[in-house]
A = this chain, B = another copy of it.
């Protein structure tokens, strides 16, 4: 079986290994944004001897290939978004870490030359912060309980 991802790996000179297949499979099977540890957990179910180092390395490779997007949404673990296309931003619950995709069509304003500070621009990521309904309810309950 050749998914587009696997094809691109081959074309770039990467070898086709069971480990890479498994990581690709885990990512494609999810529409939430997993952390590396979550990917490792699921990958271990499919290929018990896979190692942590391999999962981390593979996620980096996929990121470099543009197959997944690495997201730094909060100060915790990075998350991996398998939906590269269409471009979109994210909405995060600051309390529990829940992530929603924001409809595409929204984009960050560009930077003027002066604001670029001589840097080569590579893109912009908008992170909307809020509190999800569940956490709001839980906060209200906690207040009542006092």
Contacts and interface: CB of A to CB of B under 8 A. Distances in A.
Q: How many copies does the complex hold?
A: 2
Interface in A42-60: none
B119 A111 contact: no
B119 A132 contact: yes
A118 B33 CA distance: 19
A108 B111 contact: no
A130 B128 CA distance: 20
A129 interface: yes
A1 interface: no
Nearest to A76: B72
Contacts of A122: 94, 129-131
A133 interface: yes
Contacts of A91: 111, 115-117, 119
A130 B120 contact: yes
Interface stretch (A2-10, A11-19, A24-32, A98-106): A98-106
B125 A126 contact: yes
Contacts of A72: 72-75, 127
A117 B102 CA distance: 9
Given A91-B119, A125-B126, 18 more contacts: A72-B73, A72-B127, A93-B119, A100-B117, A102-B115, A103-B112, A103-B115, A106-B111, A106-B115, A111-B128, A116-B130, A120-B131, A120-B136, A121-B129, A122-B131, A123-B129, A124-B126, A126-B126
